[in-house]
Structure formats: structure tokens, C-alpha cells
Amino acid sequence: MVAKKKKKYSVGEGSQFISRRAALNKLQLSLNDFRRLCILKGIYPREPRNRKRAQKGQPGIKTLYHKKDILFLMQEPIIWKLRDYKIFNRKVGRAKAVKDFQKMRRYLDNHPTLKLDHIVKERYPSFIDALRDLDDCLTLCFLFSTFPSLPHIPRDQFMLCKRLTMEFLHAIIEAKALRKVFISIKGYYYQAEIKGQTVTWIVPHNFSFAPQPKQEVDFKVMSTFVEFYIIMLGFVNFRLYHSLNLYYPPKLPTTDVSESDKSLVDENIYVAERIAALNIPLTKLSNQTEEEDVEIDQFPSDTSAEDIEKAKQEQAKIKTLKTLFKGLKFFLNREVPREPLVFIIRCFGGEVSWDKTLFVGSTFDESDETITHQIVDRPNLDKQYISRYYIQPQWVFDCVNARELLPVNKYFLGEVLPPHLSPFVDKERDSYQQYIPPEEQALYDPSLRETLNEADESDENVAEEEEKEENEAEEDETEDMENSNEDEMQSTSKLQKHKLSVKPGQVYKEEPWEKTRQERQEYKLREKMVKNKHRKLYKSMMQGRRERSKEVWLLKKKRRLHEEQKTKQKSKAKQ
């Protein structure tokens, strides 16, 4: 028998991929519903190896999906709920058109609801899986928590994002899990360590203006992502609070509420405002005990003793970092951003307060004599206390990244602040390809901080040394003339002694220039062995490396000229 000839594009990539139009016809959904379903289920377009075969010989560039993903979507019960939404909108529109408001009100009271709990459990079977994918969730929820009400977006989303993000910050405070912070143009970068997983997110600056108009940003698509992330963050908060021995939803400790507070707000608003203050500890469960500090066990394995010692040192550093601000009391001025500073100070064991007319939750007044640091962001103050330091907000962020309390003299009022360096860069990057400022080197190597401080002190004493050198130069000239005759007499006597002495043999040493010359020759030979098809790529790589090294050299030169100009200005100011 003759084997049946296979149809073209029936096997291989031609049968593995499906276009978006074919997927819409297969699922019987509109484009908006299909896009929403793909966002909720985490399905995205795929890039084939051979686009011509995947598109079955059709020209152009089409959006392609894997066929297994579309078959997976066909079994999703949300599809029927989306169809119910379509029927619901049609009924409401018909009742509105004929002005049957009683029927329209009945339809609106019985509108279909979409539940996403099963999708969260399906995409994240374990708690660790959810923590690994928490970065984008937190960033988008923090972004939406700063938005006002926007058209075509549910109004409850913004308030729910605000509530869930505040609950997450309380969990980080109770766990003392914050590790790194950084201020940038985009906002505040935070990095926490939860259950061994590193979570990084951005909190935008709170400006008093509306977001971009809808023509530039599709807020409807972003709202679909938020719709899923809200359910996910609720699950994560629930697990975090119970692992930290806390009630969820969070509860405040029972305190006596004044009559004025009772008359102004109800109980829900009262609790929500004080939770948003981030300054009041939450109530813990009474039937559980706190977890003890985990120690590193030693097991015989392939890991070397150096790695175990580094892990122990890192654990000791984190243990001291958790109590960095313990015993310190901070007071925030009105012009200082309250929320990030309160979050950071409380994460490391400090006490913080502010003016009670600014926001609820303040615990002590500015006149308290036990305050150690007052954070101010203005050039001067009318009234100052001797018993406290007046510092700028950057000191708090730099102390966290340095993992120790830095000297406060560089952060006083009116002082030019040192550079605020990002702790998220690669520590072991090539210094020849990327410029590493000396302050960043001192951040990772504590031994360099002393040399950096000594350099600052030497710059201050340059003017005094120059004056001394000018005066001493004249005295040295006269002394040199007197000592020159004595040196000639001693040299002649030494030559006479060496004529009769026996010299020991010298060990032969390789000349360094000969070694470098040989290495250059070997490097040129290796370059000649590069294949012709890779030669252009190799040349472009080497050109990029030369440009980067030149840029590093220019930045170092710019820094050196800046330091010289700075020392000159200091010397002129002293004169």
C-alpha cells in the first residue's frame, strides 16, 4: 500500500500555533473578553522559530498563540460568566432604551459576579510561588492606590488597593523583613526578604495631580491586571498575618477612644485611618508564641568552610540590621514625606511621630525632650533643641543601605548631601567597563570608609599644609647646602669598603615588560583565530568595550577635577 501523503502544515510548527483571529472564532469571544481572559489566566503570545511555517505560509506578522493554551482556555468556566455579562449588558441596555427603570433596577441588583479565587490557586499552587511573582503585583497595586477615581474603572479598586498595600506594609514591619531602600525619580524602591524569597517593588511619589489621560495609557487593561492582583495580594496578606501571629483583617489594640473621635468618625473609618498611619502596632493572637531566631545548621556537604562562614556573617549582619534604629526617637516635620519614613523607621525598631494636626496616629509631640533625631527638609529652623540632631531625610535611607548608623555631620541642615547610591547594582561588576564611584566602593567594603573619611579630612587640611610647605621650603634649601658636603664624604668612605667585600648572588627574576609583551602576542594570535563570520561581531564588541572604558576614564577625570575645585573653594573660604 502507498502511504498517504500528509497535508502541508499539518505537523510541526504549522500545527502548534494558532492566530488570534482563529482563537477568537474557536472560543466565540470578543477581542476585549479574550484579552481579559488571557490576562487573568496568564497566557501570552508566543514567538515561533519559523514564522512562515507557523503562519501556514501567509505573509505579514500575526499575533500567534500556542494551540495548547487555547485548548486550555476552552475548559475555563469564566468563559460562561463573560457570556452572562454580555447578556446582562444587552438586557440593561434594552430596558434603558424603553425607559423601563423598574426592570433595569432589578437587573442591576442581580448582576453576575466574577470570582477569581480558583485562578489564583491554579496559577500559584504554593505560597512560595506567589511570593516569587509578587513584584509586579505590589508595584501595580501601589500605583493604583495613588490614583483618583477614573472613568470606566470600578471605584472600589483604588480603595481596595490602598487597604491591601497598607496591610502588606504592616506585615513587613512586624516581620522586620526590609533589607534595601532607594529613592529615585520613579519613586521609592523597597526590597524585602520573605520566607527566603526576595521581593522588590516601587512606591510612586505622592503628587497632587491626576494621572495621564486615557488616550496615552490604556487604564482598562491595567485595571484587568489589578482585578487579578487584588485577589492574589489578599491571599498573600492572609498567609503572612497568620504566620506572624496576627489577626486578619488587622485589629488595633483596645484603647479608650475619646468622645470627640467617636462623634467625628465611625469605627471602620477610625480603624482604617490608624492602620494607614503605620505607627500603631497590631493586635496579636494570644494562643500562639513568637518564633525564635533560626540558626544555620552545619551539614557535611560540598559547600566549603568559607561559604558557611560568609553565610554566618550575613546572618549576623541581618540580625543587627533589624534593630538598627532601636532606642531612637524620630520626629518628622511637615515638609517631610511621612509614609516612607515611618515605614522604614518602624521596620528597624525605631519610634516615630509627627504633628498631630498633619495626620492621625502621632504618639508624641515636638516638645518631647527624649527625641533623638528630628528629620527636616528646609534650610533653617526658628526654634531648635540642643538634645537632638536635626538631619535631612537621606540619612535614614543611607543608614539602611550601609547597615549601620552613619555620622550625622554630613546630613545637617543646609549641608550639601553626599551622593545617594543605589544598593541594587551589581557589586562585582567590571570597574574597567563601568564607573564605580569611591562612595559606592566604601558602601560594599567597610575598610574603604576610613580611607574615604581620611581623604575628606586631608582635603580640609590642604590649605594649611600648603602654607606650611611654603615656609618650610626656604628652610630646607639652606639645610640641603650644609648637608651636601657631609653626604659626599660618607659616600666616598662607603665605596672604599665595598671594593674589598664579597657580594652575594642574586636570584634571576622575570622582567615584567617581557611577560606583558608575551601576553599581548598570545592575545593577537587568539584574535586571528576568530572565524570570518564572527569577526564583525567581535569587532563591534571590542569597540563597545573601548567606548565604555573611555566613558569610565572621562567620569574619573570629571570626579578628580570636581574634587580639586572643591578643595580650592575650601581653602579660599578659610583664607
Q: Which tens digit of pLDDT belongs to each residue from 18-33?
A: 999 999 999 999 999 9
Where are any strands of DSSP class E within 20-104? 64-66
pLDDT 10s digits, 290-311: 444 545 555 455 667 777 888 8
Alpha carbons 227 and 414: distance in angstroms, whole number: 46
Q: Which residues pair with 284 in a beta bridge?
A: 246
Report which DSSP code applies to 389. Answer: E
Residue 453 has pLDDT above 80, yes or no: no
* Ranges 109-113, 489-493, 507-511: which has the least confidence: 489-493
Inter-axis angle of helices 31-41 and 219-243, to 10 degrees?
20
- Choice between 375 and 449, residue whose per-residue pLDDT is larger: 375
DSSP state letter for 408: G
The candidate with the shortest Cα–Cα distance to 117, out of 213, 247, 230, is: 230
pLDDT of residue 260: 47
Per-residue pLDDT band at 461 (split at 50, 70, 90): low
What confidence score (pLDDT) does residue 464 get?
56
| Least confident piece of the model among 174-188, 364-378, 455-469 | 455-469
Q: How far apart are CA 134 and CA 225, in angstroms?
A: 13
Bridge partners, 190 (sequence order): 181, 201
Strand pairing category for 178-183 and 373-375: unpaired
pLDDT band for 180, please (50, 70, 90 cuts): very high
What are φ and ψ of residue 199, in 5° steps? -120, 125
Asked whether the whole model's pTM tops 0.75, one would answer: yes
The predicted structure's pLDDT at residue 309: 82
DSSP, res 405: -
Confidence class for position 218, pLDDT limits 50, 70, 90? confident
Residue 121 has what pLDDT? 92
Crossing angle for the helix pair 20-27 and 67-74, to the nearest 10 degrees: 20
Q: Which residue has the cell 526654634?
A: 383
Which residue did the predictor score with more confidence, 421 or 496?
A: 421
Provide the pLDDT for residue 256: 47
- State residue 292's pLDDT score: 46
**pLDDT reported for residue 216:** 74
What is the three-class DSSP state of 316?
Answer: helix
Residue 442: other Cβ atoms inside 10 A: 18
Share of the chain above pLDDT 90, in %: 32
DSSP notation for 559-574: HHHHHHHHHHHHHHHH
Q: Over 60: is that where the pLDDT of 534 sits? A: yes
How large is the average pLDDT for residues 328-352? Answer: 92
User: Which range has the worst mean pLDDT, 39-48, 382-391, 476-485, 535-544?
Assistant: 476-485
> Lowest mean pLDDT: which of 81-95, 209-223, 233-247?
209-223
- Dihedral sign computed on CA atoms, order 384, 389, 395, 397: negative
Identify the helix (H) or strand (E) that includes residue 179.
strand 178-183
What pLDDT was estimated at residue 51?
87
Quick one: average pLDDT of 151-155? Answer: 79
pLDDT (0 to 100) of residue 263: 52
User: Distance between CA atoms of 267 and 249, rounded to whole angstroms?
Assistant: 14
**424 secondary structure, DSSP code:** T
Question: Greater confidence, 438 or 301?
Answer: 438
Q: How far apart are CA 483 and CA 517, in angstroms?
A: 44
> First CA to last CA across the chain, in angstroms?
107
As a whole number of angstroms, the distance between CA 76 and CA 209 comes to 40
Confidence class for position 319, pLDDT limits 50, 70, 90:
confident
Q: What is the mean pLDDT of residues 378-392?
A: 88
- Would you give the DSSP letter of residue 296? P
Q: Is 330 helix (H, G, I), strand (E, B) or coil?
A: strand
List strands edge to edge, sheet with 197-204. 178-183, 187-194, 197-204
User: Percentage of residues in the chain with pLDDT exceeding 70?
Assistant: 82
218 with 154: CB under 8 angstroms?
A: no
Residue 129 has pLDDT above 60, yes or no: yes
| Predicted local distance difference test score (pLDDT) of residue 68 | 92
Q: Which of 250-254, 291-295, 443-447 has the highest mean pLDDT?
A: 250-254
Residue 286 is predicted with a pLDDT of 72
In this model, does residue 261 exceed pLDDT 80? no
Mean pLDDT score of the chain, rounded to an integer?
82
**What single letter denotes the amino acid at residue 333?**
N
The model's confidence at residue 482, banded by pLDDT at 50, 70 and 90, is low
Question: Grid coordinates standing for 186?
Answer: 520613579
- Residue 183's H or E segment, with its range, is strand 178-183
d(CA 564, CA 560): 6
Per-residue cell: 171 = 506585615
Please, which pLDDT band fits residue 392 given cuts at 50, 70 and 90?
very high
Is the predicted pLDDT of residue 496 greater than 60, yes or no?
A: no
**CB-CB contact of 380 with 396 (8 Å):** no
* Chain position carrying cell 434603558: 96
Q: Would you state the pLDDT for residue 31?
A: 92
